Each structure stands twice: as C-alpha cells, then as structure tokens.
Amino acid sequence: MTTRSPATAVLPEQSADPGPPAATTRVTLRGTAKSGRRLTLPRSVRRSAGPVGLVLLWFLTSATGVLPESVLASPVDVVNQALELTRNGELPSAIAASGRRAAVGFLIGASVALSLSLLAGLFRLGEDVIDSSMGMFRAIPWVGLIPLFIVWFGIEETPKIALVALGVTYPLYFNIYGGIRSTDSQLVEAARMMGLGRLGLIRYVILPSALPGALVGLRYALSTAWLALVFAEQVNADAGLGYLMSNAQQYFRTDVIVLCLVVYALLGLACDFAVRILSRRLLTWRANFEGEA
C-alpha cells in the first residue's frame, strides 16, 4: 500500500505504547458560577493589595534603617509632615495655587484643542492647514519651550499656565481629530438618508463617535497637565507645590519632597478617577470586554 491516512499510521503506535491509554483525551470544564464555599476576595481588596504592600515594604526598610533618611524619608515622617503642613496652612494653599494653574492651563488648552480638532476634523481646508502644522509642532518637545516661554511671558504665572495649556493641547487634539475621522461612513450615509442635515450629522453622528477617543485624550491630557505643572513650577515659583519642593530641596528635607510627590500623584489619580467615572457614564452604549474574573 502506498498511501495511508494519518490516523491509521498513528493508531498502531498508540496501542504499542505502554503508557496511559490515550485513545480519547477528555477535559473537564469547570463552571465559573459562584459557589458559596469558595472564598473570593472583593475586587477592591485585590486591587489595593499591591500598593499597600509596597508602602509596607517602604515602612519596614525605613524603620530597620536599611533605607537612610537622607535618601528617602520614612512614610511616618511624610505623614507627620503632611499633618504639620496642613495644620499651618502651607500645604492647602500650595495645592490651591498649583490646582489653579493646572485648571486654567487645562481649560485654555482644551478649548484650543477642541476648536482646532473640530476645524481639522470637519473641514477639508481645516485639515490641510491645521493638521500638518500640528504634526510639526508635536515634534518639538514641549518641555524644551520653557526658556522661550520665560523670554516671552516673564517668570510669573503666565509661562506656567502656557506650558500646561500646551501639554494639554496635543493629546486632546490628536485624539478628538482621530475620533472624528474614524466615524463610520456607513452610519453617516444612513443618517443622511434619514434626513439629518450638516448640523444634525455633527451632533448625532460625528461627535458621539469621536467621544471614546476624546475621553482617552482627556485622560492623557490631565496626566500631562500635572506633568507640565511639575516642570513649570521648578521655575521661580513663589507659591504652589513646586515652590514647596524646591524650598525643601535646599534644606535636604526628603520628607517634604516625598510629600509633594505624593500630593502630585494623588491629584493625578483623582483626575484619572473622575475621567473613568465620566467615561462609564457617557459610554454605556458600548459593548466592552470587561476582563476575566
């Protein structure tokens, strides 16, 4: 016989094999329906286990002296410093000053990004004029503009707000523009067929389909806003978290530096959290993969 099917070729070998019988392989499919007996931690507990563990490690290494205070203050010192600076009002006023810069810069940057992305996204002419320029400007590292901003705007509030605005503009612009341009042309066609005019199309089809992208952009933009603020506040600040930090640097106060970093991080987290809540509210219509249990 010259041709043999693979099955007949394999079978004799299997029967000759003295190992476990492998005629059919069977698998057991275990259900994932919740049974009362299994102990499951709440998702929130599991999510916080990592960060809590890291802080614990930090505390232990500081307490045992493995981590000297000149390198990094212990978490206890940081907490004490936080209480102290809150009591004398320095921390709240610093947060207020920084928050004001971030908010004003963000609002300016967001308005600019929104108008530019709408012009570029909705009109062919706008695309030709704006999008290529934005691509060019994006190639400039915006942190590198600090010296130029100081020349233009002095060393007061203006260059700090301008830097935040600039950092916010790019991620928002590119994500909103991309969202507008990824609108499903079939939906546009159907909506036109149903009698929507130009304004109706923008309102009911184009803007909603740009929304998921815009929210991603918003998340990037808010984190960039705080980042830009950290850079900007290193320059001759007389109030704010950056001012607190550069003062602490002069006196080698690592506890205050760490405290400021923690506050920056918490503010960033709070913004991120707000955007996530907002996304969940606005994007209920989307069918999303929620991750495995």
Instruction: Please state, in angstroms and as integers, the Cα–Cα distance from residue 97 to each residue in 54, 146, 162, following that order.
Output: 30, 19, 15
Q: Which of 76, 190, 266, 278 binds another protein (CB under 8 A)?
A: 190
> In this structure, what are the phi and psi dihedrals at residue 252, rounded to the nearest 5 degrees?
55, 35
Rounded to an integer, what distance in angstroms lies between the CA atom of residue 35 and that of residue 189?
Answer: 49
- Which tokens sit at 163? 């830097």
Q: Assess 287 for contact with another protein (CB under 8 A).
A: yes
Q: Assess 191 for contact with another protein (CB under 8 A).
A: yes
Please report how the helices 207-232 and 157-181 are oriented relative to each other, as an axis angle in degrees rounded to 10: 160
Q: Assess 113 for contact with another protein (CB under 8 A).
A: no
Distance in Å, CB of 179 to another protein, minimum: 13
Rounded to an integer, what distance in angstroms lies between the CA atom of residue 117 and that of residue 163?
Answer: 19
Size of the residue set binding another protein (CB under 8 A): 20
Q: Which of 125, 193, 199, 293 binds another protein (CB under 8 A)?
A: 193
Q: Which is nearer to another protein, 187 or 235 (CB)?
A: 187
Q: Which of 100, 138, 181, 192 binds another protein (CB under 8 A)?
A: 192
- Which tokens sit at 211? 């929304």
Q: CB under 8 Å to 167, separation ≥6 — which residues?
A: 105, 109, 142, 221, 224, 225, 227, 228
Q: Assess 285 for contact with another protein (CB under 8 A).
A: yes
Q: Assess 21 for contact with another protein (CB under 8 A).
A: no
Binding mask 142-181 for another protein (x = CB under 8 A): ----------------------------------------
The interface region with another protein, picked from 10-18, 41-49, 227-235, 280-288 by CB under 8 A, is 280-288
- Which tokens sit at 212? 């998921």
Burial 182-194 (b: 16+ CB within 10 A, else e): ebeeeeeeebeee
Q: Assess 211 for contact with another protein (CB under 8 A).
A: yes
Rounded to an integer, what distance in angstroms lies between the CA atom of residue 36 and that of residue 30?
Answer: 15
Please give the residues from 33 up to 92 whose contact with another protein meets the rule CB under 8 A. Answer: none
Are residues 75 and 221 in contact, defined by beta-carbon separation less than 8 angstroms? no
The interface region with another protein, picked from 1-9, 125-133, 144-152, 278-286 by CB under 8 A, is 278-286
Please give the residues from 214 up to 273 whose contact with another protein meets the rule CB under 8 A. Answer: none
Residues engaged in binding another protein (CB under 8 A): 186-187, 189-196, 200, 204-205, 208-209, 211, 284-287
